Chain A
Amino acid sequence: MDSIRQEKVQRFEEFVDRRLKPDLVRAISERDKVFEQQKVFSDLRKNIENLEKNSVTSLRTLVNLGSEVYMQADVPDTRRIFVDVGLGFHVEFTWSEALNYITAREEKLARQIEEYTRLIASIKAQIKMVCEGIRELLQISDGFY
């Protein structure tokens, strides 16, 4: 009886350690990636709005060549912008088109984040439940013997 209980406890613990916790870690890292994406797009939106507001048509900027070595770059026409739409594709947009796309993208990212948050919460709840189950098992066995 006691050995069965012990085995059960061990199996529960293994489930928590080998299944639930790695799942949780993976979910959190996925969500972080989405957060990053969201930040990239919100930055882009802000920048485009800035360009619009100041009606900048030509731009001079610094390009990172790698290892923090920069070189000046000249953009003659800023009204056409290439935006990453995923899977390595870039679409040529005007400012207003780009802003529309960015809002749609941001909504999707927000949904994704919410999804991941729910997933993380459920994994956490499962971990807590299994831990509670283990505790109960141990308490009962303690009470009997």
Chain B
Amino acid sequence: MDGQVKGTVTKLSSLFPVEEAQKAAKRVEETIAERQKELNLVGDFIADNRGLINLVQKLPDELHHDIMVPFGKAAFFPGRLIHTNKFLVLLGEGYYTERTSKQTVDILKRREKALESQVESLKAVMQDLKAEASFFDATATEVAEGLVEIREEYIDNASPEKVSEAGSMTALTEDEEYANMMSKFEEFEKEELAEESDNECDEDEEYGHMISKFDKLEEVELATKLFSKCNEDENIKLDFGHYRSEYSFDQKHRNSEGHQLNSPPKQSKDAQAIGEELPSKHAFQRDLCNQFEDSKLQSVSEDVSPSDQSYELTQSISIEKASVLPEVKENIQAEPHSKNKAFTGSIVEHTHNLEMKPREQTTATSQSTTTQTSKPVSRFKMQRR
């Protein structure tokens, strides 16, 4: 760590050679000169136009003026101007119109305005070019002075340890991170269980509480995830396989664990209670569906009362299947294991986990695949502790 060079030092001259910078500056200067010429030309036009306006205004003062009438470019006749208030003005595209002095002056003034706007735009362009030229000049001088560019990657406080000591250390730090979360989670769970046992009658309310709590939890989790996402992304290559195995194991473990926590009669009751309030709570329909689907699958092994099952069936049919599918898969995956274990489990613990999943899946679709893989990891890591 100490002897390690953190950043990279690049000589500016290797990026922008002196000659190149000078060449660029020269080219911009040339462009500026061109624009200056254009500007001068337009300025001449404006001056000419002003002179012409004066002339056109003055001509009608007298009936005729003695002039030399040009005859071709190399000859002229002595003559005079007549009809001094009648001008033939070019409108463009070869169309001419007869105008009086005042009308001609109006036309010329409009032309002047157009020319002035042209001057403005040219000046703006020149200013831009001048800024560019000064930048190139500055670069050239900097390069000539031998300036170097020092670039250092920004590294999080947590990640240097991980970069230096991958493996067990990384797992530890991450676990520490989730320890906080986990304690909170458990607290919530305990509260919830207490509440559940206290007021079983108004479980609608309890359900609402649960939802809000888990929303909060999810928020906390997301926050920590955002914080630790970069770390995880870094680690994901190292620990991916490890996590993978953990994932399936934890899931199975959790399933069985969850089932053991709660008593069997509660499960049916819980499901029924939530089922009753389903029509009113439209927003939770999908969550409930997952829940029902889940309980249905488990009921195969658990032999829940037939009435319960039928109820669930009707419910699950009414709900879209696409959202249910992942859950089903997961449960199937978990099933062989749970068969081995004596099933006493209830749905409550399960419900919570499942309830979170569909939401997470919707969010995960918009996120990158790396975060998608890293997400369950964090959850199950948390669960394990």
A66: chain B residues within 8 A (beta carbon): 48, 51-52, 55
A82 in contact with B75 (CB, 8 Å) = yes
Partner of A44, one of B74, B79, B83: B74
B82 in contact with A78 (CB, 8 Å) = no
A37: chain B residues within 8 A (beta carbon): 74
Q: Please tell me which stretch of A21-29, A68-76, A112-120, A136-144 contacts chain B, meaning at least 4 of its Cβ atoms lie within 8 angstroms of it.
A: A68-76
B82: chain A residues within 8 A (beta carbon): 60, 72-74
Q: Which of B52, B72, B81, B82: most chain A CB closer than 10 A? A: B72
A34: chain B residues within 8 A (beta carbon): none
Q: B49 at the A/B interface (Cβ < 8 Å)?
A: yes
Select from chain B the residue with minimum beta-carbon distance to A67: B52
B90: chain A residues within 8 A (beta carbon): 67-69
Q: How far is the CA of A63 from the CA of B68 in the complex (A)?
A: 10
A72 in contact with B83 (CB, 8 Å) = yes
Q: B190 at the A/B interface (Cβ < 8 Å)?
A: no
B81 in contact with A71 (CB, 8 Å) = yes
Q: B77 at the A/B interface (Cβ < 8 Å)?
A: yes
Given contacts A67-B48, A73-B79, A73-B80, contact A40 B72 (CB under 8 A): yes
B111: chain A residues within 8 A (beta carbon): 67
A65 in contact with B56 (CB, 8 Å) = yes
Q: Which of B84-100 contact A (CB under 8 A)?
A: 84, 86-90, 96
Chain A interface mostly: strand
Given contacts A47-B72, A63-B70, A74-B82, contact A69 B77 (CB under 8 A): no
A63 in contact with B69 (CB, 8 Å) = yes
Partner of B88, one of A70, A75, A81, A90: A70
CB distance from B359 to the nearest CB of A (A): 74
Q: Which of A40-96 contact B (CB under 8 A)?
A: 40-41, 43-44, 47, 59-78, 80-84, 90
B104 in contact with A61 (CB, 8 Å) = no
CB distance from A101 to the nearest CB of B (A): 10
B81 in contact with A72 (CB, 8 Å) = yes
Given contacts A62-B88, A71-B59, A71-B86, contact A84 B75 (CB under 8 A): yes
A61 in contact with B69 (CB, 8 Å) = yes
Q: How far is the CA of A67 from the CA of B91 in the complex (A)?
A: 11
Q: A98 at the A/B interface (Cβ < 8 Å)?
A: yes
B74 in contact with A67 (CB, 8 Å) = no
B75: chain A residues within 8 A (beta carbon): 44, 81-84, 90, 98
B74 in contact with A59 (CB, 8 Å) = no
Q: B67 at the A/B interface (Cβ < 8 Å)?
A: yes
Q: Report, nearest first, the 4 A-B pairs whose CB atoms are least far apart.
A: A68-B90, A75-B79, A70-B88, A84-B74
Name B's A-contacting residues (CB within 8 A): 48-49, 51-52, 55-56, 59, 64, 67-84, 86-90, 96, 104, 108, 111
Name 15 interchain pairs, CB-CB below 8 A, sorted by A. A43-B73, A44-B72, A47-B71, A60-B82, A61-B71, A66-B51, A68-B89, A68-B90, A69-B56, A70-B88, A71-B88, A73-B69, A76-B80, A80-B78, A82-B76
Q: A40-B72, A82-B78 are in contact. List 12 more A-B contacts (CB 8 A).
A: A59-B79, A60-B82, A66-B51, A66-B55, A67-B52, A67-B90, A71-B84, A71-B87, A71-B88, A74-B79, A75-B77, A81-B76
